[in-house]
Each structure stands twice: as C-alpha cells, then as structure tokens.
Structure 1
C-alpha cells in the first residue's frame, strides 16, 4: 500500500536549509573580501542575482520528471560536446586558458560547468540500462562496461583538459569513476583501475625526472608544473605560484580558534591573495571566523551531502539513485579540492567552493545539481509494505 504525499510534503526542507546557510556564508565572505578592496564593484549584489537565477533553475529542474532525463541524455550530451568544440575553436582566452564563450549582452559563459551535469545524466542513463539488463559478471563483461563508460566520459574530459582546465577535468574523472563503481563491476576491475592510475602517476614522475623537456612540452603546462612545485614546497616558491598559497595558509592559520573578526582579517585585507572572492574564499572564512567558523561550514557541507546520500539510498528507482550518486561525487570532490588547495593538502586547480565562491556558471551548475536531487526525492514513492518492484 502506498502512502500518498504531495510533492510539497516530499520536498526535503533540510536540504534547502543547508543550502540557505551556505548562501549566507557566501554573502558574508564575499562582502568581507570586497571590504578589503579586493575588487571593484558590488559582487554581493551580483551574487544575490546569481543565487536568484540559480534558485529559479533549481526549481525548474524539480518540475520536470527526472525520468524524462533518460530521453534527453543523448541530446544533452551532444549539445555539451558541441559547446566544448565551440570553446576550442572560438572561445575567448583569459589568463592563458580558453574556457569561455562570449555571449553579447550576457557576458562570459563557461560550457564546461554545464557539461558536468550532462555527463552525469548520460552516464546515469547508461548504468541504468545495464541494471535493467542483468549480465554475467565476468572480467570480460567488466571490460566492455568500463570501455563504454570511458567512451562516454573521455571525450568531454579530453576537451576540457586541453583548454586547459585541470580542475573541471578532474571532476569529470571523479564522476566517471563513481559511475564505474555504480555499474556493479567486480572488485578485480576496480583494483585494476586503481593500479593503472597509480602506475600512470608513477610514469609522470619518471618522465619528469628523466625526460623533463618532453614532459613540459607534451604532458603538462609549465604553469601547472609550477603549481605542483608550490604545493610541495610553498616556502621555496613564494615568488612564483607559491605566493598565493603561502599567504592563504598564513591567513587561515592566523584565524586560530575564533578568528580575527568579520572584515578584520589581516591577510584578507593585505591584497596578497588574488581571487579571494572566488577560488580562495575559504581563506576569508578561516581567517575571520577561525577554526570554529571553518568547522561549522564543514559540518553544513557534511549534512548537505549526508541528506543527498540518504535520498540516493531511499530512492526506489535505480536511475534516480545513479543521478544522485553522480551529484554527490560532483559536489563532494569540489569541496575537497577547493578547501584542500587553500590549506596545502592538494595542488591549486582553480575549482570554486560550491555555493560559497562568487561566480555565475559554477553556482548555477551546482544549484541545478541540487534541483535534480530534490526532483528525485519528491518523486520517490513510499510504501508501507516494501518497495515497488
């Protein structure tokens, strides 16, 4: 027997509350960065506009039954690939990266952000198709499954990587790996993939040490290599890429337990940390609100992801589960990468902190992702006596 609930009753208000708290963190931190003279213009008002647009799109994503995404997966994937090709041939270049399309009257548009959502939908549809057609789980069949997933995921990964946009490419790679896990391949295949990844990293290190000229010309961009050097030893690279990281870590460390106070951050106000309101927004929170403020932010992120995982587990439609799993991986990796790079845990890649960093394309993409999760939740049917078969 089914419990009848309206979509409003099914709406996950706790998820919306966590999102609202993150919005408050965002506006406070962006205001503080602006008060320090980090940029010209009122980015707080602009961020409110982006939040408003993102909310509208999030609600729009909730209206369409997510089952229809199955039929839209191929068209969306094709649109995403076309947009990435347009960026490759006609995109505008900023700071050595060609990632944007300039739309007259609307400004810059970064297609790779939306491609992340398109890849999640397309891979979720393929994995759902696998689940509907049970197969014999052998190593040979696993190779076919992984090959098909890679055939879908690697083209956008490659086009994004050559922009170059290593951060977004890594997000695509994480989504691909999660979908491989969700496809039900054996542990033997998972172990092989991890082993190949470790071997690839070892190969890169060997090329760096033995064929440096080839390595810097064909494998990695010089600025990406200097970022790795800065990550390994920020103190020795203060004059290069380590400049930003060194001052960011000092700022976060100076926050200590309770922080220096709102708009009272010394490093925040020094002007020594570029992109403070975007990529390095966590520095503002860490310095001005200290360990306590940073911990509260991390708890909110944990609760947000926890609710999404619960929605994935309670969904009685495997396609919905795969969609939510992809979104969880998308947001979780961005949180880890952004915070990790500001404290020196991982190299700097330029990924925004979800829902907190200032930005248009990234914020809207993450809001759309939450809209998909809410969509899955409000259409999950609850049964008193077991699940629907």
Structure 2
C-alpha cells in the first residue's frame, strides 16, 4: 500500500465510526494535518518516510478507538426544548380545531372537516420539519443572491399576473394558487442573511446600496397590497441590518420611512371604515371573550386567539401566549451561540418574522389593528402557513445542530487543498 494511502485509509476508518456526517470534512482536515505534522517531525529525526508514516499512525492511536471517541463528542444534537414548545403550541391549535368541528356552535365549520385536515397538515409539517433538520443549511449561503433575485422576480409576476382572493393577491400557476405574502418574509430573511453576513457597512457606497437592497422587497410587497406582510418585512429587515453591524444612522432612513408608511396605511384603514367589524368582534368578560356574528366565518383563521379565550378561558389564552414567548426566546437565545454569522442572521430574521406575525395577530384579535388575513402561527387553520412555519422550525433546528460549525465551503476547500 502506498504511504499516502495509509493516511487516507486511517482517516476513512475513523470517519466510518462517526455517524454525524456534518463534521467529517473538518475531522478529515484536522486528522490529515496532524498526521502529516507527526510524519514531518519523525523524518526530521532521520527516519525514512515509511518509518515516519508508521510512527505517526502509532502515535495518533487506533482508528476504532479514536473514531468511537469522536463519535461521542460530535453526536447529532436536537434542540428538544424548542421541539417540545412547538409541539405544545401545535397541540393547542389542534385541540381548538377539534372543539370547533365537534363541540362548537359554529355550524358553518362543522362540515369543513377542519380537525382532520389540520391533523394531516401538522403530521406532514412534522415530516418536513425533521427533513430540514437533516439538511445542511450552510449550503444555501452561496445561493443567497439567486434566492433574492428569484423572490423579487416572483413578486413582479404576482403584481402583473396575480389574482385577488378576499383582498389577498395570489400567484396562479396552472391550478395552484400560491399566497406569496406568507412565503416572502421567510425567503427574504434567508437571502438577506446570506447577502449581509459579511457586509461592509463602513463603506459609503455599500452602505447606501445595502439600504436599497433592504428596501426593494418591502416596496414590492407594499405595492402588492399586503399590509401585514409589509410590516413583517420591515421589522425583519431592520433586525437583520442591526445584527449585520449597520449603524443607527444607517438604520434611521429605512425605519423612519417604514414607520411613516405604516401610520398612513393604518390611519387610512380606520378612516375608511373598511373593516368595521374589528371594533365589535368580541366583548370582554370575566370568563373570556364573547364572539359576535361578524367573526363567525373567520374564527378558525384570523380569530384563533379570540376563540381560545372564548372557549377555554383567560388562563388558556395566557398559556398559548407564553408558549409563543418561550419559542421566540429560544430562537434568540440559540442565535447567540451560533458560530457562523450566516446561521446567526437566519435565526434572528426568522425570530423577528415569527414575533411580528404573532404580535400582529394578538393586536388584531383584540381589535387594536384593522388587519385582515393575519393567521396565528402554529395555531390558526390553514395548510400553507402551517407547512411553511414547520419548515422554518426545521431549518432553525438544523442551525442549532450545526451551531458550532463554520462555513462548509471553507472546510471543503481546505480539505481539497
């Protein structure tokens, strides 16, 4: 066997015992560097190359023992706390669907099979969640610009060829209608995290260019006419700017423009009385909320938080609220421990997206904002948003799994060299 082949066979035998394939590249690089260092030291003492190779292998230890030790060190880790919180929140939503279908007075929902359909959505969502947990999110980094341009292009297509259903613009492809207002904030968060993970905000030209890159998707979404999605994107973009190192002076123009836009839009909604039922959707009481007939048709979507309090009381509503607060806290807490800046920014962008969506849903349910079509994450009825949110959680779990790893492409380049 060739001398170089001995090292290759040894490294291969070690990696065969390490089930976490994410760390194979870095371990191969580290072992190769260590073996060649030991070989050079031995040859400097007068040994032949063959003797030096054999001594290096003896010094580093048995491949089976080392592989077992490294396997224990690099076992795949799951964020069980986040998984339990998500499962508890989804169970809350599924329980509400069960009562809506079988034990509620909302007869218009009893023939929709919302419980059985929701059960299918949640189960399929779990499959997608664990599938993305296994996916190495770092491979998305080199496609950040492609994803950004593709998302903008899809928004342009929606503006010109989309159809409106209940005031929401859908992109129609054959017989399939896609609600981009739910998908775009997550896609923009992933693409902007890749673009700005190493952005030089100190450069004058790149500073203004960065603000423009952030503002463009917000402008397109606002043109489509989805105020909730626009608010979510504004908060998410400003959060990513902050995490990527932008100064307060650079954040002020986008923040000020966003706030001014929201004030004008929300004020115009109140003045136009376009959604008068927001003022009378429920009445407060010591036992919960009494839903008026105006909200009956959307109680399983827009008014899920109201229905939880209405059916199970204020303690149930507080429990649902706390579950989501814990979920957001877990994301921000984990993001602090992610080594790769790209992963840290994806997590932070997702946390801002989830938090804003939840806050808008709460404000809408209590009649403070006239925003239709704001579903409560993990709880409201709807296949597209449940699947999308479960996929986002899967990506977050994948980042947690690889939180101590650097850029996969740098590792592979080092391994090749």
TM-score by length of 1: 0.76
2:107 is aligned, of 30, 34, 37, to 37
Match of 1:309 in 2: 332
Matches within 5 A, 1:227-242: 227-229=269-271, 241-242=275-276
Match of 1:14 in 2: 81
Match of 1:54 in 2: 125
Asked whether the equivalents of residues 92 and 102 of structure 1 are also in contact (C-alpha less than 8 Å), the reply is: no
Matches within 5 A, 1:207-222: none
- Between stretches 147-156 and 47-56, larger displacement belongs to 147-156
Asked whether the equivalents of residues 227 and 242 of structure 1 are also in contact (C-alpha less than 8 Å), the reply is: no
Match of 1:329 in 2: 352
Between the aligned partners of 2:384 and 2:212, the Cα distance in structure 1 is 26
Asked whether the equivalents of residues 30 and 358 of structure 1 are also in contact (C-alpha less than 8 Å), the reply is: yes
How far is the alpha carbon of 1:67 from its aligned partner? 1.1
**The structure with more radius of gyration:** 2
Match of 1:247 in 2: 281
Between the aligned partners of 2:302 and 2:205, the Cα distance in structure 1 is 38
Match of 2:408 in 1: none
Between the aligned partners of 1:196 and 1:161, the Cα distance in structure 2 is 12
1:113 matched to 2:182 = yes
1:54-113 deviation digits (Å, cap 9, x = unpaired) = 222222222221111112222322332333233223322212432242543xx4321332
User: Which is bigger in relative contact order (C-alpha 8 A, separation at least 6)?
Assistant: 1
Between the aligned partners of 1:291 and 1:182, the Cα distance in structure 2 is 36
Matches within 5 A, 1:106-255: 107-130=176-199, 135=200, 141=203, 144-145=206-207, 147-191=208-252, 193-197=254-258, 204=264, 227-229=269-271, 241-248=275-282, 250=283, 253-254=284-285
How far is the alpha carbon of 1:199 from its aligned partner? 5.5
Between the aligned partners of 1:358 and 1:184, the Cα distance in structure 2 is 38
Asked whether the equivalents of residues 167 and 351 of structure 1 are also in contact (C-alpha less than 8 Å), the reply is: yes
1:318 matched to 2:318 = no
How far is the alpha carbon of 1:194 from its aligned partner? 4.2
How far is the alpha carbon of 1:200 from its aligned partner? 5.6
Match of 2:170, SS? strand
Between the aligned partners of 1:247 and 1:158, the Cα distance in structure 2 is 31
Segments ≥4 residues shifted beyond 4 Å: 191-202
Asked whether the equivalents of residues 245 and 342 of structure 1 are also in contact (C-alpha less than 8 Å), the reply is: no
Between the aligned partners of 1:111 and 1:197, the Cα distance in structure 2 is 20
Q: How many residues align?
A: 332
Assess, with a 3 A threshold, how the Cα gap between structure 1 residues 200 and 157 changes in structure 2: closer, same or farther: closer
Structure 2 unaligned runs (5+)?
Answer: 1-29, 31-69, 406-417
Matches within 5 A, 1:247-266: 247-248=281-282, 250=283, 253-254=284-285, 256-257=286-287, 259=288
Between the aligned partners of 2:120 and 2:256, the Cα distance in structure 1 is 45
How far is the alpha carbon of 1:196 from its aligned partner? 4.9
Asked whether the equivalents of residues 305 and 362 of structure 2 are also in contact (C-alpha less than 8 Å), the reply is: yes
Match of 2:236, SS? helix
TM-score by length of 2: 0.72
Match of 1:184, SS? coil
Match of 2:36 in 1: none
Asked whether the equivalents of residues 80 and 114 of structure 1 are also in contact (C-alpha less than 8 Å), the reply is: no
1:296 matched to 2:319 = yes
Match of 2:172, SS? strand
1:80 is aligned, of 134, 147, 151, to 151
Match of 1:314, SS? coil
Match of 2:387 in 1: 364
Between the aligned partners of 2:330 and 2:232, the Cα distance in structure 1 is 21
Asked whether the equivalents of residues 281 and 367 of structure 2 are also in contact (C-alpha less than 8 Å), the reply is: no
Match of 1:216 in 2: none
Between the aligned partners of 1:322 and 1:295, the Cα distance in structure 2 is 30
Match of 2:291 in 1: 267
